[in-house]
Amino acid sequence: MKRKTLFTIDAMPYRQPIPVYGYFFGTGAKTLAVMGAIRGDEFQQMYTAAKLVQELSRLEAEGRLSKECGLLVIPCAGQFSMNVSHRFWPLDNTDINRMFPGYDKGETTQRLAWRIFESLKGYEFGVHLASLYLPGDFVPHIRIMDSGWQKNEKGLDFGLPYLVIRKPRPYDTTTLNYNWQVWETNTFSLYTKATDFIDEESAHAATESILRFLSRHGLLKDTFVPEGMVTQKIKEKELVTVRSEQGGILLHCRSIADHVRRGEVIANIVDPYTAEVVEEIRSPQDGVIFFARRAQIISAHTIIFRLIP
């Protein structure tokens, strides 16, 4: 393993420059790059990347990386936002993952996106440990933007329960995933259960899935990686969205990955002053809970669940 300073973040006049580290493994061509946390609340994504660094260090020391294997892991490029507990760039509240491919003479977040992208370009495969704009829990899965520039079936090689395929929308064209594909990298977004807290079980599952991908592509030698699950392919537009009609305290009755039936109560909205149930959230059809919003207080017409029908 070689740790290199990819660039530094000069955030404030009274702060020391913050280094962004890349961890390199193997001696071959640019095979696979993994990007961890970009936003300031992506603690799970940073931790998952750190666990991957730990596993790859062990495998390299044991001589289990193939000669064709050249890997890069960037655990975190959002340290300044994390230091001040802010999801987006604190100085202007902009999202770095809406600034790619970046611009070296632009605004601060454009320059940061450019520096990140310059480090990640040229790899055959790329994995972004991503988070969604909605606060909540996911079933671990691989997500692919169906841009037409890569083979979506390669997402099955991670062995996670679901492969979600979505058509890119206009705002996606400034994300890391989309631009990585434009620059001819086969790109996957990997979602674990959590974002702003550490979920050890799903972090382990994500790390193992990346090792499984490497193994299935012949990049690991003499290494046992569990086979994983049979992956179900679904299109994002097929997911069923469940919203609240009332505002109040949100109490879940069911959890992610649970099978639910049409008409079943899966959450309650409770009056914050009387504890009376003001709305029963019922499943609109049979399915599996794919996403569950995590919040104490919610407003009316808020997304609570997404179901796989």
Residues 138-147 have a mean pLDDT of 93
Asked if 122 and 226 sit in the same domain, the reply is yes
Question: Which CATH number covers residue 6?
Answer: 3.40.630.10
Domain count for the chain, please give it: 2
How far is the C-alpha of 187 from the C-alpha of 159, rounded, in Å? 16
Q: Kindly give the pairing relationship between strand 287-293 and strand 136-138.
A: antiparallel
Return the structure tokens found at 22. 């890349």
Q: Residue 83: pLDDT above 90?
A: no
Q: Residue 105: pLDDT above 90?
A: yes
What is the secondary structure of 50-104 as a DSSP string? HHHHHHHHHHHHTT-B-TT-EEEEEEES-HHHHHTT-SSBTTTTB-GGGSTT--T
What tens digit of pLDDT does each residue of 166-214 get?
999 998 999 999 999 999 999 999 999 999 999 999 999 999 999 999 9
Q: Residue 15: pLDDT above 80?
A: no
Q: Kindly give the pairing relationship between strand 240-243 and strand 265-270.
A: unpaired
Query: In terms of residue numbers, what domain contains 70?
Result: 2-235
Return the structure tokens found at 135. 């606060």
| Domain's final residue, options 209, 235, 261 | 235
Asked if 138 and 243 sit in the same domain, the reply is no
Residues 1-8 have a mean pLDDT of 94
What tens digit of pLDDT does each residue of 31-52 get?
999 999 999 999 999 999 999 9
Asked if 209 and 94 sit in the same domain, the reply is yes
Asked if 265 and 206 sit in the same domain, the reply is no
Question: Which CATH number covers residue 261?
Answer: 2.40.50.100
How far is the C-alpha of 207 from the C-alpha of 60, rounded, in Å? 16
Asked if 146 and 6 sit in the same domain, the reply is yes
| Domain's final residue, options 195, 216, 235 | 235
Asked if 26 and 139 sit in the same domain, the reply is yes
What's the predicted TM-score (pTM) here? 0.94
| Domain's final residue, options 216, 235, 254 | 235
